[in-house]
């Protein structure tokens, strides 16, 4: 026969949930502090049998007789846990535990700060934010954004013409600060659309490289200068030239109109001339050495070009010689060769 006094084996399982301290802080506190010794359990089991196996009656009797013990397990209403802070009877967040009646979840823009054996809700300091309720820390603002006040739920992007290079910034830095023309500065970046580069203004700039001059001006020697006729200033801080105009790279603001054969001035970057043109000349007026202009385009000199120059030179010499002889004869007839000779010599020099 089976003389066992124990019941059949019962499977014991351990139940747990991640984050229970936040989701059910009071239940978690009770589970941590609850402690019953084996002697007390033995007493409870005996009373359980004596009371006719009534669990509720035996449990109630034990609670009445051990008031001090089980009350020590109960969570304190003002012992705030992670993500919460002290509140008064009106539900206002406070820092004085003596006036507190409960704990509540910290709102956005605040964090739960440990204070002795409890926690209080504290506003995020300048340069930091918190967009979620019930958090224990505030986060620093990202680059390009700032928080200029305490208790910010989100950081503010820097406006046009300003930037923030670091994290946790309170104020944005101003482009062109100290130039006296801050209104002519902006923050922009290039975008490529249909193969063409276009500059657009952007907020939330996170470094000084975004700073530049507004459209209609260009950057020169640290200042934003106004565009003039023939120049193109599209907001890249650079000055470009329209076709038919020229300026030197060293003096981009002095723009010249290319009269006549405008093909010699293709526009674009300052100091740009058509192929073969001498960029040191004003408005690309001359060809480089070894080239000559033909319909506004500089081409290499051929054999026929040199022959033509030679013939013109020979004819010039012949004409000078004939003129000299004629003037000598006239001088002898007039008996006043001095002035005529001087004229002849002058022509020879030419």
- Ranking 101-110, 244-253, 259-268, 318-327 by mean pLDDT, the lowest is 318-327
SS3 of 196, please? strand
For residue 108, the 8-state DSSP code is: T
* Cβ-Cβ contacts under 8 Å for 95 (sequence gap 6 or more): 86, 115, 120
Per residue in 9-20, pLDDT tens?
A: 777 666 666 677
- Cβ atoms of 105 and 125 closer than 8 Å: no
Q: What local confidence, expressed as pLDDT, does residue 118 receive?
A: 94
Taking CB atoms within 8 Å and a gap of at least 24, the contacts of 269-276 are 269/240, 269/241, 270/239, 270/241, 271/247, 272/241, 272/246, 273/246, 274/298
Per residue in 64-115, pLDDT tens?
A: 888 888 877 877 889 998 999 999 999 999 999 999 999 999 999 999 999 9
- Return the axis-axis angle of helices 38-50 and 55-65, rounded to nearest 10°: 130
The pLDDT-based confidence of 152 (bands split at 50, 70, 90) is very high
Q: What local confidence, expressed as pLDDT, does residue 333 receive?
A: 61
Chain-wide mean pLDDT for the chain? 86
Per residue in 263-314, pLDDT tens?
A: 999 999 999 999 999 999 989 999 998 888 887 788 887 655 555 656 777 7
More confident residue, 147 or 346: 147
Residue 4 has pLDDT above 70, yes or no: no
Q: What local confidence, expressed as pLDDT, does residue 31 receive?
A: 79
Q: What local confidence, expressed as pLDDT, does residue 219 receive?
A: 94
Residue 342 has pLDDT above 60, yes or no: no
- Residue of 136, 103, 132 whose CA lies nearest to 122: 136
- Does an H or E element contain 232, and which? strand 231-232
Query: What is the per-residue DSSP string for 289-306?
Result: TTEEEETTEEEE--HHHH
Tokens of 229: 């006729």
Tokens of 281: 């000349």
In sequence order, what are the beta bridge partners of 114?
A: 119
């Amino acid at each position: 026969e089976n003389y066992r006094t124990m019941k059949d084996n019962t499977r014991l399982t351990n139940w747990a949930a991640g984050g229970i301290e936040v989701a059910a802080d009071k239940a978690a506190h009770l589970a941590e502090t609850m402690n019953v010794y084996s002697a007390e359990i033995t007493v409870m089991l005996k009373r359980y049998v004596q009371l006719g196996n009534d669990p509720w009656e035996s449990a109630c009797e034990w609670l009445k007789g051990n008031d001090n013990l089980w009350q020590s397990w109960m969570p304190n209403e003002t012992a705030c846990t992670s993500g919460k802070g002290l509140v008064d009877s009106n539900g206002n967040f406070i820092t004085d535990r003596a006036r507190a009646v409960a704990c509540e979840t910290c709102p956005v823009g605040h964090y739960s700060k440990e204070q002795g054996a409890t926690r209080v809700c504290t506003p995020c300091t300048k340069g930091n934010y918190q967009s979620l309720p019930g958090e224990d820390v505030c986060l620093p603002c990202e680059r390009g954004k700032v928080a200029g006040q305490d208790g910010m739920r989100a950081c503010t992007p820097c406006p046009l013409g300003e930037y923030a290079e670091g994290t946790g910034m309170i104020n944005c830095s101003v482009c062109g600060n100290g130039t006296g023309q801050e209104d002519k500065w902006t923050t922009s970046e290039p975008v490529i659309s249909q193969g063409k580069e276009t500059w657009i203004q952007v907020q939330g700039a996170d470094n000084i490289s975004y700073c530049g001059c507004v459209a209609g001006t260009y950057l020169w020697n640290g200042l934003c200068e106004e565009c003039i006729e023939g120049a193109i200033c599209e907001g890249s801080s650079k000055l470009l030239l329209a076709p038919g105009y020229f300026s030197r790279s060293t003096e981009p603001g002095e723009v010249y109109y290319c009269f006549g054969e405008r093909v010699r001035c293709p526009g674009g970057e300052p100091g740009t001339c058509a192929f073969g043109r001498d960029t040191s000349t004003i408005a690309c007026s001359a060809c480089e050495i070894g080239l000559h202009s033909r319909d506004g385009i500089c081409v290499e000199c051929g054999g026929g070009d040199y022959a033509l120059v030679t013939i013109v030179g020979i004819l010039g010499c012949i004409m000078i010689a004939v003129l000299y002889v004629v003037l000598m004869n006239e001088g002898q007839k007039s008996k006043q060769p001095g002035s005529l000779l001087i004229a002849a010599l002058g022509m020879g020099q030419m």
